[in-house]
Structure 1
Amino acid sequence: MADTGDAGAGMRRFRPEGGGGSGGSKLKAVRDFGSNPGGLAMKVYAPPGLKPGAPLVVVLHGCTQLAGGYEASAGWTALADEHRFAVLYPEQRRVNNPKLCFSWFAPHRAARDKGEAASIRQMIETMTARWRLDRSQVFVTGLSAGGAMAAVMLASYPEVFAGGAIVAGLPFGAADGVSAAFAAMSQGRDLDARSWGDLVRAASPHEGPWPRVTIWQGADDRTVARANADGLFAQWADVHGLDADRARETQVGRLTWKTLGDAVELNIVAGMDHGVPIDAARGERAAPYMLDVGLSQARATLAFWGLERQAHRQAIRSAPSRARPAEPRQAPPSPPPAPVAATVEAVITKALRAAGLMK
């Protein structure tokens, strides 16, 4: 793993440029967004004619990925066109990490006002100011190392985010170095809920309210252990002052869905390995770590955040009852990568029963 420390990029005039890391990408590069202590690249998408006051979704790719490739598979820009929000794609650079992993496990690069976390915060500030976006509707999602980095951002800057989505990621504070990162990925870290929550509370001076968090994990993930999803659920339940053991659990097809009101939820997808669940029937595209299981994490997450209120129940309702044939196993990245209120739950339960998906 290459870790070059805090490489500054300097100040340049704001200038969007073409290029997103994949042919035909809608993403634009922005060179001037601050001192950039983490040495990251900034890629953005704003739908034509986007009005002031729109939300912002921050998307963090996984190891071996670039922003353009993630964008081409996950469908966030198509959703941005449909539901009128802006998208920010921070992008890791090979000079920092040859496998393009965010440095979620390095305290000097993944903490408030430090390294990559500070660079992402600068990107958010630049984008919200440039497009006059709604600062109360900023959200972050990420896969694997990007999911762990999303957890870093939620813990380090909780006042910035209204919600987060962590896919095949790890709890904040799960590791503080390379060896600890490998151990956490393979088996998790054994902490009780209060200890997990204390790590978040110690990461910033913020005292609440806290971001809403949805967590996604493949039941057959062979890269990041299931214990990490459970740790994330316990961590954010405790931060919200809730008891993870009192969660409501629903099973529909291959999806096990645990909720604590509208604050925290955990989604476990049976038969799925390491990656983002996507639905090719909705225009999303399968790729390494972008797994077509007939369930759209992006759409379900959008609805959990309240940006598209019907998508979550539609995604749950359409969850396939049988696992598709297993996908060829992909080699895991060699370095460490780097819910609804009770009344709404009742409505969803009623709809699922009417559709024959629940008894």
Structure 2
Amino acid sequence: MNLMDPTTYMGASQCQNDRLADLIEFGPNPGGLNAKIYIPENLPADAPLVVVLHGSKQTAAEYDMGAGWSEIADQYGVALLFPEQQRVNNLMLGFNWFVPVDGHRDAGEPLSILHMVEKVVSDHGIDRRRIFITGLSSGGAMTSVMLATYPEIFAGGAIIAGLPYGSAATLSAALLRMKGLGSPTAEQLEARLRNASVHEGPWPTLSVWHGSGDRTVYPSNANAILEQWRALHDLEKRPSSTYIVNGYPRRVWSDAEGRELIEEYSITGMGHGTPLKTHGKNSYGASGDYMLEVNISSTRHIADFWGLSAA
């Protein structure tokens, strides 16, 4: 899915499985975003929160229907927050990760999302040590922004077909970076990530997912994300371990105590979208445009990487 592509997604607003409720009066909203939530019945005290960011030409409800996050929320006892772009801000409904005001702490869309998080935490007694964020495409790029600008808020993040923080500051640059062209150096990207906040650690864990056949956001962006965060965590370039999961390679970088800090799934041959397993055991969501049936549920594996299933 091109982050600026006018191609229609899944029949636009005709989502038939909208389980989400509006979050209103969450405070100042400089980014002009909408907010949706999903709170399971009998949510336990000190539950975790997952912030879910849709891709361009998607709504929050459409992305939830495809990825199956509300199914995970019911199963694991997790609160969900879905920031949602408005067409007045971006005609393609993508998050404005490449606009300077929307790429910095305490401004624009990041500050709106922070206020949403604080509202849900306050209203539902969320465990502040277990706040996570994930997103696809422009939502994946905005996940990079949120992890960079508010690393003290998030225990972990998951970037699906996204881009590294600080890779573009204009629309024309963003379109080039999506094609893997003209990226800043690894050293520049590391410096931009470190300088995005005054935080000095500990840092969020990170899960990175990308299709090896993605020609909308090229897989070189996944490599750039990994380089940024390996440097921040002071990890070696060589992974600590490698696995095959549902037929796809998973690489893991762990600390000296064996704690998994970064994981990467490269989905062989997959194009641009969220990897899904929609049939059989451990299946979630529904396939559609940019919600891709490839026999592995990124939603489930991300939740497990964050320890939500154990909770």
TM-score, normalised with respect to structure 2: 0.90
Shift of 1:287: 1.2
Asked if structure 1 preserves the Cα contact closer than 8 Å seen for 2:151 and 2:199, the reply is: yes
> Displacement, 1:257?
1.3
Residue 10 of structure 2: aligned partner: none
Aligned to 1:77: 70
Matched, 1:62 2:55: yes
CA distance in 2, matches of 1:76, 1:209: 27
Alignment of 1:79-98 (within 5 A): 79-98=72-91
Q: Which amino acid letter does the alignment assign opposite residue 196 of structure 2?
A: A
Is 2:151 the counterpart of 1:150?
no
2:96 is the counterpart of 1:103? yes
Where 1:244 maps in the other structure, the secondary structure is: coil
Structure 1 residue identity aligned to 2:309: E
Kindly state the Cα deviation for residue 250 of structure 1 after the two structures are TM-superposed: 3.1
TM-score when normalising by structure 1: 0.78
What does residue 278 of structure 2 align with?
280
Residue 308 of structure 1 and its aligned partner are, at CA, apart by 1.8
Distance 1:29-1:231 versus aligned 2 partners, 3 A rule: same
Q: Is the 8 A contact 1:174 1:189 kept in 2?
A: no
In structure 2, do the counterparts of structure 1 residues 138 and 253 end up closer, same or farther at CA, with 3 Å as the change threshold?
A: closer
Provide the C-alpha distance between the structure 1 equivalents of 2:90 and 2:209, rounded to a whole number of angstroms: 25
Cα drift, residue 309 of structure 1: 5.0
Q: Rg bigger for which structure?
A: 1
Bigger mean CA offset, 80-89 vs 275-284: 275-284
The answer (yes or no) to whether the contact 1:189–1:228 under 8 Å persists in 2 is: no
| Aligned equivalent of 1:230, options 202, 213, 223 | 223
The 1:69–1:135 alpha-carbon spacing in structure 2 relative to 1, beyond 3 Å, is same
* 1:185 paired to 2:178: yes
Note the C-alpha offset of 1:92.
0.2
Task: Please state whether the residue corresponding to 1:300 is helix, strand or coil.
Answer: helix
The Cα offsets for residues 71-106 of structure 1, whole Å up to 9 and x where unpaired, read as 111111011000001000000000111110000001
Partner of 1:23: 16
User: 1:307 aligns to what?
Assistant: 308
Tell me the distance in 2 between the aligned counterparts of 1:85 and 1:245. 34
Find the aligned partners of 1:302 and 1:125 in 2 and give their Cα distance: 21
> CA 1:296–1:33 in structure 2 vs 1: closer, same or farther (change >3 Å)?
same
TM-align CA RMSD: 1.6
**Structure 1 193/263 Cα, relative in aligned 2: closer, same or farther at 3 Å?**
farther
Distance 1:283 1:240 in 2: 32
1:180 to 1:72, Cα distance in 2 relative to 1, 3 A? same
Q: Does the residue aligned with 2:249 lie in a helix, a strand or coil?
A: strand
Question: Which residue number in structure 2 is paired with residue 324 of structure 1?
Answer: none
Partner AA of 2:292 in structure 1: L
* Residues matched between the structures, number: 291
Separation in 1, partners of 2:106, 2:182: 25
* Structure-2 residue corresponding to 1:354: none
The residue identity in structure 2 corresponding to 1:101 is G
C-alpha displacement at 1:21, in angstroms? 7.3
Pair 1:141 & 2:134 matched:
yes
Find the residue that maps to 2:220 and give its secondary structure.
helix
Partner amino acid, structure 1, of 2:287: A
Counterpart residue number, 2:3: none
Q: 1:145/1:275 Cα in 2 relative to 1: closer, same or farther (>3 Å)?
A: same
Secondary structure at 1:277's aligned position in 2? strand
Identity of aligned residues (%): 43
CA 1:122–1:24: 2 relative to 1, 3 Å: same
Tell me if the contact between 1:188 and 1:225 (Cα under 8 Å) persists in the aligned partners: no
1:211 aligned residue (201, 204, 216): 204
Structure 2 gap ranges (5+): 1-12, 255-259
The AA in structure 2 aligned to 1:118 is L
Give the Cα separation in 2 of the matches to 1:188 and 1:88: 33
